[in-house]
Chain A
Amino acid sequence: MKTYTICVFTENSIGLLNKITIIFTRRRLNIESLTVSETERKGVSRFTIVIKHEQREAVEKLVRQIRKVVEVLAVFGYLNDDIVYNEIALFKLPTPLDSKPLDMETINREHKAYIVYWDLDYVVLQKTGTEEEIFEFFKYVKPHGILEFVRSGRVAVSKTPKGLVEYLPDEVEWEYYL
């Protein structure tokens, strides 16, 4: 199983998320994570979809099917080496009076995580990194007990000299990069 990151550039219109996700569900593909935001170009949204798949060919076919959605301007499929990517996670940890204090030095220096909020009984730590780094940190804080843990989907930018929207919409035609 390889991890693929699919970046989809679309017009910003209602119902588009459904039109894209049904392409995955019809082929029984599980979406590992999905993030949507507006790009540096107004009116253009960017979907970052992470899937795991054994066959590169099947992912290429999927990319072409996504490209068929009328509001989709361009689709790019990437392997991890082609992109710079990150996720963000929040950990809510209990800090009752009698508990072992958190080792903030290790948390800050080794895990590059820091406190974004604290209250009398708990703290909220924020950790940015890859899925692996976040789970490493998860294992580290687990003995303290975790009240809540949430992880975002992946965001990724390509390692190409140009911005991806520079390829939009005409120059790219039906092509995709994978």
Chain B
Amino acid sequence: MAIAEELLEKEVSTQTPETFITGSKALMECLLAESVDTIFGYPGGAIMPVYDALYDYMDRINHILVRHEQGASHAAEGYARSSGRVGVCMATSGPGATNLVTGIADAIIDCTPMVAITGQVASNLLGTDAFQETDVIGITAPVCKWNYQITRADEIPEIMAKAFYIAMAGKPGPVLIDITKDAQIGMMTKPFEYKKIDKLPGYHPRIKPKAEQVQKAAELINSAKKPYILVGHGVLISEAMEEFRALVEKADIPVASTLLGLSAISIEHPNYMGWLGMHGMYAPNVMTDQCDVLIAIGMRFDDRVTGDATLFAKQAKIVHIEVDPAEIDKIKKAEAPVVGDAKEALKMLLPLIEKRDFTAWKKEFRDLEPAEHAAVNERDFAGEGKIKMAEVVRMVSDKTKGEACVVVDVGQHQMISARYYDFKKPHSYIASGGLGTMGFAIPAAFGAKMGAPEREVVAFIGDGCFQMTIQELGTIAQSGVAVKMIILNNNFLGMVRQWQQLFFDRRYSFVELQNPDFITISKGFGIPGHTCDDRASLSESIDTLLNSEGSYVLEVIVEKEENVFPMVPAGRSVSEIRLK
């Protein structure tokens, strides 16, 4: 971004006591008070006073210079998703701020806690079409949980406290704080004081559910003959994995996860049946038509889960445990809604649930598996022709013992990774679920590594996606952290091509790519890598990737026209699931 011309500075009274600080310094103090250790950002004219203040805080706050602001917002998402803390990103006004928007929109739909800080022109220039002025509040209002424009330094502590509270509380989401340049430069007129908040007049989400709601849910679950649990992202967000497992084991109910609910329960758990949705597994999908009580925990009946929602589980009574009241009855009517945090709800529910044995009912799920294996897995692992994406994912899964943090981009590789990686640890599948943002993986994988440095982060990325945020290889190289990236290259925008093949009569409209030499590019950024084109060297190639000390890019040339199955065609009932 070009540097803005120096704007009119607000005059600072000479009588200001020495103890008073500038807005920018106050902002830094707020970040420290919220234990922020990492910011992903990009400087520019209207945010320069903040960056100047940051210069004195470099030892306490690690600022990562991204290569494009979209990278900053996705990296903040990755950080938040792997660490469970608020991801912070920062950009200048105008184009800096608008470049953040995709990541913000991604964060709201996937409930990712984020605080985005943007610079803004001085308050006296607002509305004058000043250099790099954009109505960021207007632009981001529909995609933010909350946003606010600060025009006075004095507002900073209170507003930042609100921002961090709102970002995390209840159903997490992104908050954008736009700070005018005069508020950054100006001195506070009172001593800095930071008070964390835990309640607002207009926002006080219910965490502990009402006892009568839990009671009703328990009665319904206890009366069920064929209960079935769908676990969503909410269980991971509220760190309710233990409580969830306890419930599953006591009630012996079969479980399927949503895409973002992956890794909420270990794939090895005997009650875990797989994940459901458009490209989910066969049994988890079709059994939604068989259960009598469907227990949805921390999920929102997205259309990629339900297909035609009017036909989805229409025979079942629904128990819906959800922190956001607006989600209750939004898509599916719930007989027993429980509004509250998943952890609290499950804690209250557990003692009310009877111990049951559903061996026969669980077997009904398992009985469907051979058909899926025969149609899908056997094809994926036939070992003929070009390498299949499935083989790569499975091999990485085996070599990492299912314990890596897997970050994926959007498309076929995203579905294949969900299908064949054996998640054994929570918070291990980081994907852009709701928004389906191509270009998510490189910055999000980097952010995830920053948020959980002790974990091995492996990213599966399509060749189309890789080129959307390829510049962030520079960020990764400069930071020195180790991100293991695997490009599953089929020279196509594979998922779009698959739809064109299946639903548009093979009219391949603009889906074939002339790709660059990814490895040369990676090396140009200072990240080593190599290409694997044959099955015989795949294992060795993955070893090289996983054993490399720093970041590494492995490009695997995969089958060009491979389709992902099972598939529930968009807008159809899950009973119309196709295995080929």
Asked whether B339 lies within 8 Å of A169 as measured between CB atoms, the reply is no
B141 contacts A61, C-beta separation under 8 Å: no
- Cβ proximity bits B287-311 to A, threshold 8 Å, 1 near / 0 not: 0000000000000000000000000
Alpha-carbon distance between A33 and B206 when the two chains are bound, in angstroms:
32
Interface size bucket, A side?
Answer: 20 to 34
Q: Per-position contact with A for B161-174: 1 when CB-CB < 8 Å, else 0?
A: 00000100000000
**Given that A68-B324, A174-B206 are contacting pairs, would A15 and B137 also be in contact in the complex, using a CB cutoff of 8 Å?**
yes
The CA-CA distance from A115 to B462 in the complex, in Å, is 73
Cβ of A48 under 8 Å from chain B: no
Q: Given the interface contacts A15-B141, A18-B141, A174-B339, does A70 sit within 8 Å of B202 by beta carbon?
A: yes
Decide: A70 and B146 in contact? CB cutoff 8 A.
yes
How near does chain B come to A67, taking the closest CB pair, in angstroms?
7
Given the interface pairs A61-B330, A174-B206, A174-B339, the reply to whether A26 lies near B146 with Cβ below 8 Å is: no
**In the docked arrangement, what's the CA distance between A135 and B427, Å?**
61
In contact, A18 and B138 (Cβ under 8 angstroms): yes
Q: CB distance B200 to A70 under 8 Å?
A: yes
Q: Which residues of the partner chain A approach B149 to less than 8 Å between Cβ atoms?
A: 14-15
Q: Are B325 and A10 in contact (CB under 8 A)?
A: no
Contacts of B200 in A (CB 8 A): 70
Give the residues in chain B near A70, CB-CB below 8 Å: 145-146, 166, 200, 202-203
A131: CB under 8 A from chain B?
Answer: no
Question: With contacts A70-B200, A73-B201 known, is A64 near B141, CB below 8 A?
Answer: no
Q: How many Å lie between the Cα of A65 and that of B138 in the bound state?
A: 18
Alpha-carbon gap, A140 to B204, bound state (A): 52
User: Are A22 and B141 neighbours in the complex by a CB distance under 8 Å?
Assistant: yes
Contact: A174 with B146, CB < 8 Å?
no
Q: Is B383 an interface residue (CB 8 A)?
A: no
> Are A19 and B141 in contact, CB atoms less than 8 angstroms apart?
yes
**Other-chain contact of A68, B201, B206, B326 (Cβ < 8 Å):** B326
- Assess whether A173 is interfacial by the CB under 8 Å rule: yes
| B: contact size bracket | 20 to 34
Query: Do the beta carbons of A61 and B326 come within 8 Å of each other?
Result: yes
Hey, which chain A residues are within 8 Å of B206, CB to CB?
Answer: 173-174
Tell me the chain A residues, 54-112 only, with Cβ under 8 Å from chain B.
57, 60-61, 64-65, 67-73
Contact status A72-B138, CB under 8 Å = no
> Are B202 and A72 interface neighbours, CB within 8 A?
yes
**Contact of A61 with B146 in the complex, beta carbons under 8 Å:** no
Residue of A nearest to B146 (CB): A70
Cβ of A11 under 8 Å from chain B: yes
- With an 8 A cutoff between CB atoms, is B561 at the interface? no
Is chain A's interface secondary structure helix, strand, loop, or mixed overall?
A: mixed
- With a CB–CB cut-off of 8 A, which chain B residues contact A61? 326, 329-330
Query: If the complex has contacts A11-B201, A169-B201, A174-B339, are A67 and B141 also in contact, measured as CB distance less than 8 A?
Result: no
B416 to chain A, nearest CB (A): 33
- Chain B residues near A26 (CB, 8 Å)? 142
Q: How far is the CA of A14 from the CA of B123 in the complex (A)?
A: 14
Kindly state the separation between the CA atoms of A67 and B324 in the bound complex, as whole angstroms. 10
Q: What residues of chain A lie closer than 8 Å to B329, measured between beta carbons?
A: 57, 60-61
Q: How many Å from the CB of A55 to the closest CB on chain B?
A: 12
A69 to B141, CA, bound (A): 10
Q: Across the interface, do A22 and B142 meet the contact criterion of CB distance under 8 Å?
A: yes
B219-236 CB mask vs A (1 if < 8 Å, else 0) is: 000000000000000000
CB-contact partner of B202 in A22, A64, A65, A169, under 8 A: A169
Q: Is the CB of A64 within 8 A of B325?
A: yes
A67 with B325: CB separation less than 8 A: yes
Closest beta carbon of chain A to B377's beta carbon, Å: 40
**Are A174 and B141 touching (Cβ within 8 A)?**
no
Minimal beta-carbon separation of A36 from chain B (angstroms): 16
Please report the C-alpha to C-alpha distance between residue A64 and residue B201 in the assembled complex, in whole angstroms.
17
Chain A nearest CB, measured from B86 CB (Å):
16
- Is A174 a contact partner of B201 (Cβ separation < 8 A)? no
B141 touches A71 (CB 8 A): no
Chain B residue nearest to A13 (CB atoms) is B148
**A69 partner residues in chain B, CB cutoff 8 A:** 202
Which residue of A has the minimal Cβ distance to B138? A18
Whether A174 contacts B325 by the Cβ 8 Å rule is yes
- Across the interface, B326 reaches (CB within 8 A) one of A11, A57, A64, A169, namely A64
Which chain B residues numbered 495 to 539 have a C-beta less than 8 Å away from chain A? none
Q: Nearest-CB distance from A15 to chain B (Å)?
A: 6
**For B326, what are the chain A residues with a Cβ–Cβ distance below 8 Å?**
61, 64-65, 67-68
Closest CB in chain B relative to A90 CB, distance in Å: 31
Q: Which residues of A contact B328 (CB under 8 A)?
A: 64
> Please, how many angstroms separate the alpha-carbon atoms of A10 and B328 in the complex?
23
The answer for the CA separation of A174 and B203 in the assembled complex, in Å, is 9
CA distance A113 to B143 in the complex (A): 47
Interface string of B317-351 (1 = CB under 8 A from A): 00000001110111000000001000000000000
Contacts of A11 in B (CB 8 A): 201-202
> Beta-carbon contacts of A1-22 to B below 8 Å, as 1s and 0s?
0000000001100110011001
Chain B contact residues, CB within 8 Å of chain A: 137-138, 141-142, 145-146, 149, 166, 200-204, 206, 324-326, 328-330, 339
A and B contact pairs by CB, cutoff 8 A, 28 listed: A11-B202, A14-B149, A15-B137, A15-B141, A15-B149, A18-B141, A19-B141, A22-B141, A22-B142, A61-B326, A61-B329, A61-B330, A64-B326, A64-B328, A68-B324, A68-B326, A70-B146, A70-B200, A70-B202, A71-B202, A72-B202, A73-B202, A168-B201, A169-B202, A169-B204, A173-B204, A174-B206, A174-B339
CB-CB nearest 5 A-B residue pairs: A64-B326, A174-B325, A70-B146, A169-B201, A70-B203
Given contact pairs A11-B201, A61-B329, A61-B330, enumerate 4 new A-B contacts (beta carbons under 8 Å). A57-B329, A64-B326, A70-B166, A73-B202
